[in-house]
Amino acid sequence: MAEQLNRMYEDLNPPHQLPLFGALRPLADSKPTACVELADARHFTGEIEDYADIIITSPPYLNRYDYSRIYSLELCLAFCKDFNELKQVRHSLLRSHIESREPPTNDVKHPALIEVLDNLKGQNLNNPRIPVMIKGYFEDMNLAIKELYKVCQPGARVALVIGNSRFHGELIPVDLLLSELAADAGFGVERIIIARYKGNSSQQMGRYGRVPVRESICIWRKNA
């Protein structure tokens, strides 16, 4: 444990720090304030007094994790009165899991995404809803990226941590696709930093071999 803590401490100190944004300007003399908004990142309706100049975030990965199921106990203790409410939460989440519903929009027509969906069509998938999830994920992330652009002030930067995915042997370059959606929304894509490579599930490796999957930090900038 001590060795692990020491490694974590070293990661937070130079020269291990990644220079994501360059030199940051010092805080003003006044004490910083915090504001918490409860809203859907795809349709942000809160009133914002000051636009953001830095956003650091990590949305759900396209990995079938249903967070409403993982945290169902916590949700039922404090947020959901019964299973029907829990199911409503599940169906309203960003579409990164199999329980996601058909996307209400059809705005993302990126050639790489269409190719992935075409390659999965007719395949003997372990869950037939995987293509629906993939399509819904990029539709939802497209909406969220547009909202990010709205709340950024000119010159603001976004650092988005995301992992690529692999289904039925089909590799999905999520970092590249989201960066192209960010460019369509008006961001400039400064760079994509590869943070690490992840392995695959035992089922994927047994059937299709091991292909390292990137986990990346996408750096976008709203042009002045």
Residues in the chain, total: 224
Look at residue 194 in the predicted model and tell me its pLDDT.
95
End-to-end CA distance of the chain: 46
What is the per-residue DSSP string for 34-93?
A: -------TTS-----SS-EEEEEE-PPPSS---HHHHTHHHHHHHT-SSHHHHHHHHHHS
Average model confidence (pLDDT) across the chain: 86
> How far is it, in rounded angstroms, from Cα 96 to Cα 196?
21
**Residue 34 carries which side chain, given as an amino acid letter?**
A
Look at residue 1 in the predicted model and tell me its pLDDT.
72
Answer whether 130's CB lies under 8 Å from 167's CB: yes
* Over residues 20-39, mean pLDDT: 67
CATH 3.30.1340 for domain 32-222: no
Look at residue 25 in the predicted model and tell me its pLDDT.
60
pTM: 0.83
* Over residues 120-139, mean pLDDT: 91
Query: Tokens in use for 166?
Result: 């692999």
